[in-house]
Amino acid sequence: MERVAVLGAGSWGTTLAALLAEKGFYVTLWARTPDLARTISKTHENPPYLPGLKLPERLKGTSSLEEALKGSTMVVSAIPSHGVRKVFEKAGAYMSGELVLVSATKGIEEGTLRTPSRILKEVLPEIRYDSIVVLSGPSFAGEVSRKLPAAVSAASASSISASRVQQAFSTDRFRVYTNTDTVGVELGGALKNVIAIASGICDGLKLGNNARAALITRGLAEITRLGVRMGGRSQTFAGLSGLGDLVLTCTGASSRNYTVGYEIGRGRTLDDVVGSMRMVAEGVKTCNAVKSLAFMQGVEMPIAEEVWQVLYNGKPAKEAVLELMTRELKSEHG
């Protein structure tokens, strides 16, 4: 069995590493802190991110990028979007050109407005772009780690690379579909986090199920408009990494982005909510990037705009809702 390095020992990285180890791969999980790496190797647990879950004996932890990547033929990136560039600028020294690189990060880098796969291509020029595979879809780490059924997409410019990842990750509880629309799959996974914050605000304000259903539907329209303008295919946004992931993150209490919105809807400040969370809510940073992308691409995204106003401009959530409901009347498909 081939050797796999998983970079990022948060809940999702640990879940994917455990899944692969259980399938018989030799897996090394890289953690940023030596203490967590030692805990994973010695106790086969990750208490901060997946408390109570016993990890496979063959899964090893390390805080050394060199140790994690040495001899690996598949590398999985499960690092928050703001850390991808910095980590792989260092990791590149230990990576060969002949490997498959799986990006399991959902987000957009602030400033550059790059998706994770584009960041990887920039900092790893020796890695062929068709060897990069984006893994994305509706998949809460806690449920996947408990072996509850889930399905995701593996997208790559190369059908061979996508199929290789499909075979590596698929189990009787984790189904992987291939896709050639890397742009669409990656954008769907990133943009839905902003709409999830809006959905949480809606529920925090107790606006009801009708409002949430309308928000999800119109949110999907916004995601699709921007995604297609940037090169994605419209049918991708009706699939697992689009509609599927959007519905999950907009309705599940386990969603960090939904939780941020929900608490803001109840009256807490963004700093207070984010400061109390151990894990990253990608939608908070992605919201800034989406606002810039929408402007650059000439795409109207009123929900994303109002989320930005609430998060970064201090606009009361109730005023944002009123703004959306009293906009100029339009055709649904205009």
| 198, 102: one domain | no
> Which domain, by its residues, includes 209?
183-325
pLDDT of residue 133: 98
Give me the torsion for CA of 243, 248, 249, 253, rounded to 10°. 160
| 250, 233: one domain | yes
- Residue pair 162/179 in contact (Cβ under 8 Å)? The answer is yes
Residue 13 domain flag: yes
| 166, 188: one domain | no
Last residue of one domain, picked from the residues 125, 155, 180: 180
| 156, 8: one domain | yes
Cα 87 to Cα 2, 199, 329: the distances in Å are 23, 32, 47
Q: What CATH number does residue 273 fall under?
A: 1.10.1040.10
Q: What is the DSSP string of 174-238?
A: EEEEEES-HHHHHHHHHHHHHHHHHHHHHHHTT--HHHHHHHHHHHHHHHHHHHHHTT--GGGGG
Geometric angle at alpha carbon 103, from 101 and 109, rounded to 5°: 125
| 167, 190: one domain | no
- Residue pair 23/114 in contact (Cβ under 8 Å)? The answer is no
| 127, 245: one domain | no
Cα 43 to Cα 9, 51, 68, 197, 297: the distances in Å are 15, 12, 18, 36, 49
Last residue of one domain, picked from the residues 180, 203, 237: 180
Q: Which residues are catalytic?
A: 192
Residue 191 domain flag: yes
pLDDT of residue 252: 82
pLDDT of residue 129: 83
| 195, 237: one domain | yes
- Residue pair 288/302 in contact (Cβ under 8 Å)? The answer is no
- Residue pair 222/236 in contact (Cβ under 8 Å)? The answer is no
Q: What CATH number does residue 119 fall under?
A: 3.40.50.720
Q: Checking DSSP bridges between strand 74-77 and strand 3-7, what pairing results, if any?
A: parallel
pTM greater than 0.85? yes
pLDDT of residue 96: 82
Residue 213 domain flag: yes
Residue 254 domain flag: yes
Phi, psi for residue 151 in degrees, rounded to 5: -140, 140
Residue 72 domain flag: yes
d(CA 20, CA 238) in angstroms, rounded, equals: 28
Last residue of one domain, picked from the residues 180, 195, 230: 180
Domain total of the chain: 2
Residue 331 domain flag: no
| 14, 161: one domain | yes
Q: Name the E strands within 96-184.
A: 100-103, 132-136, 150-155, 174-179
Residue 285 domain flag: yes
pLDDT of residue 107: 94
Amino acid at 247: V
d(CA 176, CA 33) in angstroms, rounded, equals: 31
Residue 330 domain flag: no
| 303, 175: one domain | no
| pLDDT by 10s per residue, the chain, length 334 | 689 999 999 999 999 999 999 999 999 999 999 999 999 999 999 999 999 999 999 999 999 999 999 999 999 999 999 999 999 999 999 998 789 999 999 999 989 999 999 999 999 998 888 899 999 999 999 999 999 999 999 999 999 999 999 999 999 999 999 999 999 999 999 999 999 999 999 999 999 999 999 999 999 999 999 999 999 999 999 999 999 999 999 998 889 999 999 999 999 999 999 888 877 788 999 999 999 999 999 999 999 999 999 999 999 999 999 999 999 999 998 7
| 38, 163: one domain | yes
| 215, 321: one domain | yes
| 254, 171: one domain | no
pLDDT of residue 275: 87
